[in-house]
Chain A
Amino acid sequence: MHDDHVVDELSAWLDGDLPPGRAQVVEDHLRACEACAAVAADLTRVRDLARSLPDWGPEGDLWPLIRSELRRPSGGADEVGVIDLTRRLRPRVPRPAGSGALRRAAIIAAVALFSGAAAWTARPLLEAERAASAGAAVEAPRAALRSVADVDPALGAYEDEVRTLRRALDEHRDRLSPTTVRVLERNLALIDRAIEESLAALTDDPGSAFLHGHLREALERKVRLLREAAAAAENAA
């Protein structure tokens, strides 16, 4: 039968936390008591196993998600999450009666505009916009100047609203927790996808009242979400 008082002190004894006199008492007891000695041996093994426990990482690769949310402007060639906002703020120009490619480029640019400034944009959209911009620069530079208003003039008012809210949000976004930012981005990405799909569908069916209504609804959702997020960021001390 082991001594409870000694057992209670075994961790402290193992860690060298007992005063020398008390440690000697414990050691003397361990030499005489097999039960307590067995407990001490077990605790030593637990401690030693803990110290040699191997680390292993997540089952899936978390890097793509992390990378898509990196915010700090990059000094290197890899400008993660950074888009030149001024490039999107140039004056609108009349849409040329162009080819399908031009129209697609205009739509992609419009989607990129409504996906907002740099940091909050989903990565696939960034890549699409870069590709579209690069292609349009050769084929038809002005195609990249398109906005949602070119697809539906009645929705042009949302552009200024989105830009204003985006600036307000960017100004205080560091106050939001990474978890909040992640939730916000996921929701924005979903809305952006709805906008993108509506715009793409409107290329084939420009007179569809349903598609125009769907696009308007998505834009309103985005404005509402940005407004709430900007207010939350501003109020977060």
Chain B
Amino acid sequence: MMAQRVEGGADERDVRRAREGDAEAFERVYRACAPRVHSLARRMAGPGRADDLTQDVFLRAWDKLPSFRGEARFETWLHRLAVNLILTVRARDRRRAEREVERPVALESAPARAAPPGWALDFEAALAALPARARRVFVLYDIEGYTHEEIAAAMGISVGTSKSQLHRARMLMRERLR
């Protein structure tokens, strides 16, 4: 699975030590990777669930680390795990999640964060207001760099649906950012 945004990331030695059970090394891995995982969770599932999902991702990663063989970049492995977990949680709890994602005021309840530039906040606001399916496709394709085939497989939709949802999302983003 391809991910374009793999800048930064965890130190390989820390990943190896965490794999062997070193919790302090895993903390450093967490510190290095949390912004990306949290951003993914926030964009995919909404600000209200991002913290819980981020915790779940890192707990799952800790459990699964012994099976990580280093055949892919750790960040890619972690990202795949995060996407699968987020989509699985959403599928399992779809009705509640849909309400949260579709709720237009969700962004207003997002905690204030330091550092992001103004345009990014505007962009995230427009993103948060997208319909759930279009938003997930947009996040995975335009932000995370997955292909339509990968998105279709992960979300259980057709490639054509993925493409049409992407176009819908881009058009809505265009309207909201003008």
Contacts and interface: CB of A to CB of B under 8 A. Distances in A.
Interface residues of B, number: 55
Nearest to B85: A178
Contact of B55 (A11, A46, A59, A178): A178
A231 to B, nearest CB: 21
A79 B24 CA distance: 10
B17 to A, nearest CB: 7
Contact of A74 (B21, B34, B174): B21
Nearest to A10: B167
B174 A62 contact: no
B62 A179 contact: no
Q: Which of A42, A58, A60, A177 has the most CB of B within 10 A?
A: A58
Contact of B167 (A11, A58, A177, A179): A11
Contacts, number: 129
A152 B100 CA distance: 49
A236 interface: no
B63 A43 contact: no
A87 interface: no
B116 to A, nearest CB: 6
A51 B142 contact: yes
A73 B38 CA distance: 26
A41 to B, nearest CB: 10
A163 B116 CA distance: 50
Contacts of B115: 54, 56
B142 to A, nearest CB: 4
B23 A78 contact: yes
Contacts of B60: 178
A70 B48 CA distance: 23
Contact of B27 (A46, A58, A63): A63
Contact of B170 (A43, A65, A80): A43
Contact of B54 (A7, A49, A62, A182): A62
Question: 4 nearest interchain CB pairs?
Answer: A75-B21, A50-B142, A11-B167, A55-B39
20 contacts: A11-B170, A45-B177, A47-B142, A51-B4, A51-B142, A51-B143, A53-B39, A55-B38, A55-B39, A57-B34, A59-B113, A62-B30, A67-B27, A70-B59, A71-B63, A72-B63, A78-B22, A80-B23, A177-B56, A179-B56
Given A51-B145, A67-B23, 10 more contacts: A12-B163, A49-B123, A55-B39, A58-B34, A60-B51, A72-B65, A75-B21, A80-B23, A179-B52, A179-B56
